[in-house]
Structure 1
Amino acid sequence: MVEFAAGAPCWADVMLPDLEAGKRFYGPLLGWTFGKPDPDRHRYTLTYRDDKAVGALVAKPDGRMPTVWNVYFASPDARATARAIHEAGGQVFAGPEQVGPFGTMVMAADPVGGVFGVWEGARRPGFSLKDSPGSFCWTELTTRDPETADPFYRAVFGYRTEQIGRAGGAFDYEVWTLPDGPDGAYAGGRLRMDPQAPAALPAHFTVLLGVEDCDEAADQVLGLGGKVRTPPRTSPYGRLAEVTDNQGARFTVIDLSRTAEG
């Protein structure tokens, strides 16, 4: 069982118009198997890699809702975190809601419009597997307004932060470190949005999912009806490609074993 410090990403799910189409895409791509849908929770279907929980597919209860990946951050007290979100200028639009015996959930937006979840785990703390092929590896917020977003996440989750690249420059990235963790206990990051990005593109979190081979995964995405938004490239942290699934949800595949240094 994976342990989650306060502020650590602990869960991810994707909201889809068609669950069966989602299974046909993510099963072959990530080696996932699927639990039985929960009819009481909008057909919430757990996903597994090697019999370990790695996330979920969610059938959208309303077609007007976005087709999107969501990330959840751990909290020892979801109600206190909801208050902190309000006090820091964010908005809570769902919860705190107890989800049976599994935990308590909050859905919120930061002051720049980035949507995220908060999870106070009980019977289900979060991922049973992460940082490996077929599982969650990283998340980052992309926004045009880091000057507003950065203080919000420091206030709500107490993150220590490290600037990578030059603030306001072509690559403006801030790494979030867990407040109670050792140096290098990262929670995620924040990227300043490219000025050339479409004006209608809102602030958003990206979920990075591990694969054995990024190039093969990108080809497989195309074969499964998805799209490759940026071709595979090698970074100091892994070889990655930004893709879209067969229903329009954006995410990134990453091979952590292939880095710019090796």
Structure 2
Amino acid sequence: MAVPPEGTPCWADAVFSDVEGAKRFYADVLGWTFAEASAESGGCTEACVGGKAVAAVVPPMPGQEGSSQWCLYFAAEDAAATAARIRDGGGELLMEPMRIGDLGTMCLARDPGGVVFGLWQAGAHEGFGATAVPGAYCWAEILTRDPGKSDAFFPALFRDRPKRLEGGTDFRIYDLGGRSVLGRTRMTDDFPPEAPPHINVYFTVADCDEAVTRATERGGVLRSGPVDTPFGRFAAIGDPQGADFSVIDVTTTVGEVPRTTGVA
């Protein structure tokens, strides 16, 4: 796949204390196979669907042990320049841009509302090898208790065009170059107080209910759903090591897609 435009979600990974346990879980739930771990990238192991890279599982660095969470990376033409804009926009750099051999350059950051995300400036590794097929990434949403900060930060950083989803919910969609690339929703009281703001990553599945069954039988926790929507039938899941993600069957849709309006 070609390198996507700057600001497009292009990769996802998660740090797991038990990498082998994570590999078994996601192999069973999402059908992933795994490449050999890469010493060049700190033991990162690529997950594949049909031989194409779709995500990665990563062992913790010293002092990084703790609960896991999926991290979404956005394409950057120049990671150093984008990192400077993150600082200027009130964000925080958790890891300065770092070159990973000839694979590319990565950076980790936090928006003013506490949402952690990454940047990826592609080298030999361009990002997702496949999207929107069973087992692969297809969508993501910012979950935050301070939506105003995210709504100001991300559109300014990546020149997104925010739209409001009609229907009374506090939900935004960020468009980039005429294509919807990211959602944003407010965390309600349904979320436990200790749940941090984060970006929820959606992986495509052929059957949402079957994926939920496989996940819960293997130690995962059903957070919500399954529920039918105009975009697909989806459910939110916590894996056995605490990383939250969603699964969605985009072929099973119910109802009409809500209208959107631009936000000034």
TM-score interval, smaller chain:
over 0.9
Q: Map 1:69-148 onto structure 2 (within 5 A).
A: 69-148=70-149
Question: Does the C-alpha gap of structure 1 residues 117 and 51 become closer, same or farther in structure 2, counting only changes over 3 Å?
Answer: same
CA–CA distance in structure 1, aligned partners of residues 172 and 112 of structure 2 = 17
Aligned partner of 2:144: which letter?
T
In the other structure, the counterpart of 1:172 is 170
Helix, strand or coil for the counterpart of 1:186? strand
1:192 aligns with 2:190: no
Q: Say whether 1:243 aligns with 2:234.
A: no
Q: How many residues align?
A: 255
Mapped to 2, the partners of 1:231 and 1:20 lie a distance apart of 28
* CA distance in 1: counterparts of 2:191 and 2:50, whole angstroms: 38
TM-score by length of 2: 0.93
- 2-side partners of 1:151 and 1:126: how far apart? 26
**How far apart are 1:42 and its partner, in Å?**
3.1
List runs of 5+ in structure 2 lacking aligned partners.
257-264
Q: Report if aligned partners of 2:17, 2:65 keep a CA contact under 8 Å in 1.
A: no
Which residue of 1 is the match for residue 4 of structure 2? 4
Q: Quick one: which amino acid aligns to residue 48 of structure 1?
A: C
Q: Does 1:229 align with 2:185?
A: no
- 2:164 aligns with 163
Given that 2:132 and 2:204 are in contact with CA atoms closer than 8 Å, whether structure 1 keeps it comes out as: yes
**Following TM superposition, by how much is the alpha carbon of 1:85 offset from its aligned partner in structure 2, in angstroms?**
0.3
Determine if contact 2:223/2:237 at 8 Å carries over to the other structure: yes
CA 137–160 in structure 1, closer or farther in 2 if over 3 Å, else same: same
**Gap runs ≥5 in structure 1:** none
Instruction: From the superposition, tell whether residues 196 and 243 of structure 1 become closer, same or farther in structure 2 (CA, over 3 Å).
Output: closer
After TM superposition, give the deviation of residue 29 of structure 1 in Å. Answer: 1.3
> Which shows bigger deviation, 84-93 or 219-228?
219-228
Deviation sequence 1:171-190 (CA, Å, 0-9, x none): 21100111xx2x3x111111
In the other structure, the counterpart of 1:205 is 199
Q: CA RMSD in A?
A: 1.4
Map of 1:48 onto structure 2? 48
SS in 1 for 2:5: coil
How far, CA to CA, are the matches of 2:66 and 2:38 in structure 1?
Answer: 19
Q: Is the 8 A contact 2:10 2:120 kept in 1?
A: yes
